[in-house]
């Protein structure tokens, strides 16, 4: 027998064959913001990562100079020597996290080169490298995002062992409505040739994803207690943000933020909240609502210019991964070892930098924040805004 809470009572007994859960026990999943002391984290895996094909949604976030790479390697593994280095850098990152007292969990190893077909499209997979893109923890609930790229349709499969375990130990587990990802979800004629034109389109709220059905990547949401900041982007539509707002209900307020960004995809390289009222902002992507934060007494600190050399491959992102840091608590930040100006900036804010090198891992699409999903932080739901 399970004990279920119905309309506020905790004592209705029903016959069930489901797993037995001690509801008095604390959920293994619990996090309300990006900076409370980190207890447990999922770190992604570079293993078997595949390059996505050059579809309209991939074109929309990459520059024409990068297209040759996608044309040549789409559907194949990322260059193997590079992946090997990424694997060892991420292992080292996990060791540092453990050394800092954090429990590290990993997704399953999956063969992402397997072709798949749904009634609407054919694709191959991409990877389970960036848990931040697919999983978001809000309170005791872990939500699997629907995603928006066809190459990421089945990404959730790598995390199902972990999801089942967390659920059986008492977490609330939700998957957002799975999109069809049929042709109607993408503006097939989305103009991608000129960056200027894309600035204009994004200022009008026009992205490659249409409003055909809800879609979002979890990394377009930034948690800050009762306030959650979201951006519409090439992978997150208004339908998806509305789903999230209604799903979370009145305990949370989702603020839609806009940035001057021609390739918007994932808010954590643009606006990274690292403490109560403390945000690292991207000087190349001004926030149109920055006054709202200043009025609330928040401190907006501009990220220093990234130090990544031009010849280091970043196949899926800009260099602004330099500001894509992971807070271990309010006083400790995991930051790239080579980003001296960023390290100095954190030190000037009284935050101790824990330098780690994941440059080869950066190449396949993310920094420390992208490579992780914080499963449990010690803290409670508060309002900071």
Binding site for ligand NVA (CB under 6 A): 265-266, 268-269, 317-318, 320-321, 324, 366, 370
Nearest CB to ligand NVA, comparing residues 45 and 369: 369
| Residue 69 CB, nearest approach to ligand NVA (Å) | 15
Residue length, the chain?
385
Q: Smallest distance from the beta carbon of 346 to ligand NVA, in angstroms?
A: 18
- Which is the catalytic residue, given 266, 287, 329, 336? 266
Q: List all residues 6 or more positions away from 95 whose beta carbon is below 8 Å from its beta carbon.
A: none
Smallest distance from ligand NVA to CB 266, Å: 4
Identify whether 266 is a catalytic site residue.
Answer: yes
Among residues 187, 217, 261, 268, the one annotated as catalytic is 217
369 is catalytic: no
**CB-wise, 243 or 271, nearer to ligand NVA?**
271
Closest to ligand NVA by CB, 33 vs 324, is 324
Mark whether 374 is an active-site residue: no
CB of 264 to ligand NVA, least distance (A): 7
Nearer to ligand NVA by C-beta: 123 or 317?
A: 317
Rounded to a whole number of angstroms, the minimum distance from the CB of residue 319 to ligand NVA is: 8
Q: Which is nearer to ligand NVA, 40 or 268 (CB)?
A: 268
Q: Catalytic residue positions?
A: 217, 266, 370
């Amino acid at each position: 027998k399970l004990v279920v809470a119905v309309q506020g009572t905790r004592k209705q007994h029903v016959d069930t064959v489901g797993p037995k859960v001690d509801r008095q026990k604390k959920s293994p999943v619990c996090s309300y913001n990006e900076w409370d002391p980190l207890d447990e984290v999922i770190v992604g895996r570079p293993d078997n990562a595949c390059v996505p094909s050059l579809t309209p949604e991939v074109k929309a976030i990459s520059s024409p100079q990068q297209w040759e790479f996608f044309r040549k390697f789409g559907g194949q593994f990322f260059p193997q020597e590079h992946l090997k280095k990424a694997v060892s850098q991420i292992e080292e990152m996990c060791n540092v996290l453990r050394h800092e007292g954090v429990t590290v969990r990993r997704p399953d190893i999956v063969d992402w080169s397997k072709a798949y077909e749904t009634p609407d499209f054919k694709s191959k997979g991409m990877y389970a490298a960036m848990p931040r893109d697919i999983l978001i923890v809000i309170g005791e609930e872990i939500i699997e995002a629907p995603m928006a790229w066809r190459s990421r349709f089945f990404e959730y499969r790598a995390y199902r062992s972990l999801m089942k375990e967390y659920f059986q130990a008492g977490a609330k587990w939700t998957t957002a409505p799975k999109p069809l990802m049929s042709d109607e979800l993408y503006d097939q004629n989305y103009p991608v040739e000129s960056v200027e034109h894309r600035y204009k389109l994004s200022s009008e709220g026009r992205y490659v994803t249409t409003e055909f059905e809800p879609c979002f990547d979890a990394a377009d949401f930034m948690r800050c207690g009762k306030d959650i900041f979201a951006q519409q982007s090439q992978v997150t539509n208004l339908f998806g943000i509305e789903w999230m707002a209604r799903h979370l209900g009145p305990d949370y307020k989702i603020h839609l933020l806009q940035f001057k960004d021609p390739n918007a995809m994932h808010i954590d390289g643009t606006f990274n909240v690292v403490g109560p009222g403390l945000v690292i902002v991207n000087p190349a992507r001004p926030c149109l609502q920055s006054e709202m934060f200043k009025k609330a007494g928040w401190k907006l600190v501009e990220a220093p210019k990234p130090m990544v050399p031009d010849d280091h491959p970043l196949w899926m992102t800009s260099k602004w991964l330099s500001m894509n840091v992971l807070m271990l608590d309010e006083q400790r930040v995991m930051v790239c070892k080579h980003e001296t100006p960023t390290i100095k900036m954190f030190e000037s804010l009284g935050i101790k930098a824990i330098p780690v090198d994941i440059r080869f891992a950066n190449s396949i699409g993310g920094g420390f924040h992208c490579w992780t999903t914080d499963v449990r932080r010690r803290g409670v739901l508060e309002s900071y805004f």
